[in-house]
Structure 1
Amino acid sequence: MSDWHATAVRRRALAVLLAKRLRSACRTRDLRIDAGGQEILRRASCDVGEDGSVVFRLGAQLPGHGRRIAGREAARLLCELLPDAADDALAVDAAEAERWVRHADDVAALREQVAERGLVAFVADGSMLARRSGVDDRPMESGVPFAAPASMAVEFTLPHAGTVRGMGIEPGVTLIVGGGFHGKSTLLRALESGVWDHVPGDGRDFVVADPSAVKIRAEDGRSVTGVDVHAFVDHLPSGDDTRHFTTENASGSTSQAAAVVESLEAGSRVLLIDEDTAATNLMIRDARMQELVAKDREPLTPLVDLVRSMADDHGVAVVLVMGGSGDYMDVADRVVLMDAYRPEDVTERAKALAAKPTGRSVEAEGFRMPRARVIDPRSVSSEARGKQKIRAEGTDGLRFGESEVDVRSVEQITDPAMTTGIGLAIEAAVRQGWIDGEATVSEALDRLEEALEAGGTAALLKIRDVDLAVPRRYEVAATLNRMRELRVRRSGE
């Protein structure tokens, strides 16, 4: 059907469907294709053209004996098994293809309407947010379907699915609270994954988040280069300049402060934070601790005293999972209680509790956006390091030249193909002059994003013909910022 490939979103969905079908059709381990997981991403493994043409890119392990290729077995693999698998993949059932492309239409329409409504996220009723396990990202078979509280419910009309009702999250500060094991972190993980489209039947089919949403966490031991963390760390006993903070071994608090600043520098306007993976001393200082340790002896300014200014003065929405500190009720616009995976709007109750003074004092007047940085391109080129090598180590690390970049805490990297895509995007940014020693980090990312939007996987395949998925600018920025060889200067210097 010609309309299956009529739009870019349809072609992307159809390409993922065909890649998955080819993976299933390959009846030998000697043929492999990157078909990804639950996300619908632009992948090098399959490309559907505007004219309906299909290009598969896959790997073949040629059979052999020692250093000699077994010719007959190789011929059978390439001339019989591979064509048969491709034929099976392309013989897609019309109803199945129609389901995928219609789903792509609906998600695209939903994202557009959510943005027009001014929301930062939406979770549809009936969504299955829980996953089967930590290593199986498919929906839990016996989980609790999501149902929006009436006070936060919104409806959208989609071209094929019709009316969809669910919970809309507005800008500002949103607090997700509740007891342990009641679904707080599960909801946040669904939101962080909501920057990507998902395959039909994933359970998060109509869970979408602002495209700029970034998950923030603490990360002991990471390197930080020239980041303005002064809003969170106004001085250090060592006398180091916190407006241009650099360390090879960040603490939990300084790493989280850097992650916030780096995400804002990259253009994020929605931050997602879970107290389970956050630095406690950067999140809160309660009244008793304030009385015991005077402010002039505490260099850290906790997020609770900055988050209101971030939202009001700079338009940065923050969604926080919080189960241990009630002080965030003082600054929250809305509070969602998760009770056995069912959300309840408890904003009014929380405001009533917040009206009772705790004796805690606010430790900051407001949040100041950081000064822009400029990257030295010589510090991030894989070729400049002797060996032009870019290789993913799963989703935990990236081999870039002779360097190993630890990205295990960049939680929105979906799979190894995206890790590879990030490395190639960084190399492309240097080769094409998007990182040129003059452009700020934001400007360089703008150029990269524009090129990836226009060229897709082709822009990265020019660097190397490998399995890859096209990343967002935010994962590229997070990886750049974790390079220990990175060199930067402040804009204007």
Structure 2
Amino acid sequence: MNDLDALAALLTSLDGHGYRAYKRIEGAWSGPGFTLLVDHVQPDPFATPTRLRVRLPHATHGLPADLWANRPRRVGFLNHLLRVFQRALQSCPGVGSGRSCVFFVDAGGAEVLERAAACAGPDYLELRFRVGLPAKGRTVLGRAAARLLTQVLPQAVEVLRAPNLDEAEARRWANLTEDHARLQDRLTELGLVAFVRDGSVLPRKSGVSSEPLADAVPFESPPELRVTLDTLHHGPVTGMGLPEGVTVITGGGFHGKTTLLEALELGVYPHAPGDGREWVVTRENAVKVKSEDGRAVTGVYLTPFIHDLPRGASTDAFSTPDASGSTSLAAAIMEALELGADTLLLDEDTSATNLLVRDARMQRLVRRETITPLIDRVRELHQRLGVSTVLVTGGSGDYLDVADRVLLLEHYRARDATAAARAVAQELPTGRAVGDPAHPLAVRPRVPLPEGLDPRRGHREKIQARSVNELLYGPETVDLRGLDQLVDPSQVRAIGHLIARIHHRAGRDTLRALLEQLEAELDERGLIALAPLPELARPRRFEVGATLNRLRRLRVETV
């Protein structure tokens, strides 16, 4: 194996050549205590940057192995390592055109996700990233490239070694993600759907920011819902334990009820230290659902919510390229149940009112109704299927009749208003008729078919995450704005490659079975087995299935 001196000499000799001469540096290069692997060189300075890896044998970096002893610890530790490495690379001098001399490290944001950009193997740590090799136009700047890869990069690698890395901070990340996983595992046995520690800072600076609001009111649990849970590394933690069943979160406008729901929906992920939501822990199978006018729905069993359509059209395997608000919300609920959701999260602001509730006046006026609203199913969801519901509402008072508990947000402080809500419900009856729904609440699995799942556009596979809200898959652009629990474009990219895997297996197993098989493979082989890309972050099966469900070319068979 050649060393970095040989790489520097080669790069210097390439100075002034055409850009494709950079292909000669592909391969492995030995550095001081690490190996640089140049996997794929970009064809021109404006193309996707060059893909590299840095591999540090455990014998040379000196970091203790307990930092990555299990999956949760490994995810936290490697996220920290990526962020340290990313900061160290910011000193790279910028010269040339296009993306010259720019390093790209997929280090993530507030949520701590399993990433293809880093791995801890039996023998080494490995970081995967990209760099724009320097050029003037399409002419190689070989001396600048030599400085970039044989001086700047090795200096950054040095921060990953035990004498230079803040081990206490690395351990803080590993301990926090392990405790999040431990609490998440314990929620079911404790009969809780979520936990919010006292002192958590839930508000963000803005609706598009992940930074905590500096002067936010820290969360304080209502005494009636206060629980203390043991952790592995942080001792006992006290906060609100949200029980299973039907929970209504209410309050006046701008008092924090949606902020609490948003924290709960992202509590399925661990968060970076200092985020403020580190101790918001939600069941891993909790799914946020909402209305999405215009989305495609394919072969979904909607009859528990939508039925008896004019002209006798069936909703047992309902399809439409242009769903209404109520139809899309009903589909989102049934699709989540199909994939194994045990908790539904809803906000009335993003939910079709007619699928949430029909009041007494509309019941009296409209006799031929094709919708069974959620209010008539929500208790059945819990009692028959074991699925809890958390609903934010400021105007649907009828839900006070069916709620197991009511949280009232006033000036960003939560209090248990269950007793008061029941008194109001008894004093002011709604008069709405409550009967047994005519159609059974059940889930009908679907088998995706290979047609419609081909990722090719023309003769080439096309999978591109344009943002966290949009996936280009083959000839189709998939709108993902309705998936509030997607937090990173690298998750979207991974979803595209997972759907491509489903394409090759479609037609045999149900969607849930296929997704569970893929989850097991990711557990065993890691994200890098999907594609040799550093920009992949692990999604949940719910977001993979939800993306597939939004493909307009999707074809399914109902079991």
TM-score (norm 1): 0.95
Per the TM alignment, residue 107 of structure 1 is displaced from its structure 2 partner at its CA by 1.9
More deviation, 381-390/159-168: 381-390
Per the TM alignment, residue 335 of structure 1 is displaced from its structure 2 partner at its CA by 0.5
- From 19, 40, 45, give the equivalent of 2:112: 40
> Contact 1:25–1:89 (CA<8 Å) still a contact in 2?
no
Per the TM alignment, residue 395 of structure 1 is displaced from its structure 2 partner at its CA by 0.9
1:309-355 deviations in Å (ceiling 9; x for gaps): 11111111000001001100111111000111111001111112222
Matches within 5 A, 1:44-443: 44-51=116-123, 53-90=124-161, 91-237=164-310, 239-294=312-367, 296=368, 298-356=369-427, 357-362=429-434, 364-365=436-437, 368-383=441-456, 386-431=459-504, 433=505, 436-443=506-513
Task: Say if 2:529 is the partner of 1:473.
Answer: no
Per the TM alignment, residue 367 of structure 1 is displaced from its structure 2 partner at its CA by 5.0
Per the TM alignment, residue 229 of structure 1 is displaced from its structure 2 partner at its CA by 0.7
- From 4, 21, 24, give the equivalent of 2:87: 24
1:143-176 deviations in Å (ceiling 9; x for gaps): 0111111111111111221110111111110100
> Cα–Cα, structure 1 residues 197 and 407, in superposed 2: closer, same or farther, change >3 Å?
same
d(CA) in 2 for partners of 1:247 and 1:192?
A: 28
More deviation, 64-73/233-242: 233-242
d(CA) in 2 for partners of 1:172 and 1:121?
A: 12
> Cα–Cα, structure 1 residues 64 and 149, in superposed 2: closer, same or farther, change >3 Å?
same
Q: Match of 2:158, SS?
A: helix
1:361-417 deviations in Å (ceiling 9; x for gaps): 125437511321111023212148643111001011111112111111111111111
Q: Counterpart amino acid of 1:360?
A: R
d(CA) in 1 for partners of 2:309 and 2:154?
A: 64
TM-score (norm 2): 0.84
Query: How many residues end up aligned between the 2 structures?
Result: 483
Matches within 5 A, 1:3-14: 3-14=66-77
Q: Match of 2:114, SS?
A: coil
Q: Match of 2:545, SS?
A: helix
> Contact 2:106–2:534 (CA<8 Å) still a contact in 1?
no
Q: Match of 1:123, SS?
A: strand
> Cα–Cα, structure 1 residues 23 and 367, in superposed 2: closer, same or farther, change >3 Å?
farther
Per the TM alignment, residue 300 of structure 1 is displaced from its structure 2 partner at its CA by 1.3
Per the TM alignment, residue 117 of structure 1 is displaced from its structure 2 partner at its CA by 1.0
d(CA) in 2 for partners of 1:50 and 1:149?
A: 46
Q: Percent identity?
A: 46
> Contact 2:456–2:475 (CA<8 Å) still a contact in 1?
no
Q: Counterpart amino acid of 2:256?
A: G
- Root-mean-square deviation (Å): 1.6
d(CA) in 2 for partners of 1:144 and 1:131?
A: 11
Q: Which runs of 5+ in 2 are unaligned?
A: 1-63, 93-100
> Contact 1:225–1:487 (CA<8 Å) still a contact in 2?
yes
More deviation, 370-379/302-311: 370-379
Task: Indicate the residue corresponding to 2:550 in structure 1.
Answer: 482
> Contact 1:301–1:363 (CA<8 Å) still a contact in 2?
no
Per the TM alignment, residue 466 of structure 1 is displaced from its structure 2 partner at its CA by 4.3
> Contact 2:457–2:475 (CA<8 Å) still a contact in 1?
no
> Contact 1:12–1:48 (CA<8 Å) still a contact in 2?
no
Greater C-alpha radius of gyration: 2
Structure with larger RCO (C-alpha < 8 A, sep 6+):
1
> Contact 1:5–1:50 (CA<8 Å) still a contact in 2?
no
Q: Match of 1:188, SS?
A: helix
Q: Match of 2:159, SS?
A: helix
d(CA) in 2 for partners of 1:146 and 1:199?
A: 18
> Cα–Cα, structure 1 residues 451 and 238, in superposed 2: closer, same or farther, change >3 Å?
farther
Per the TM alignment, residue 207 of structure 1 is displaced from its structure 2 partner at its CA by 0.8
Task: Indicate the residue corresponding to 1:457 in structure 2.
Answer: 527
d(CA) in 1 for partners of 2:309 and 2:400?
A: 29
Q: Counterpart amino acid of 1:121?
A: A
d(CA) in 2 for partners of 1:451 and 1:235?
A: 42
Per the TM alignment, residue 239 of structure 1 is displaced from its structure 2 partner at its CA by 4.0
> Contact 2:465–2:492 (CA<8 Å) still a contact in 1?
yes
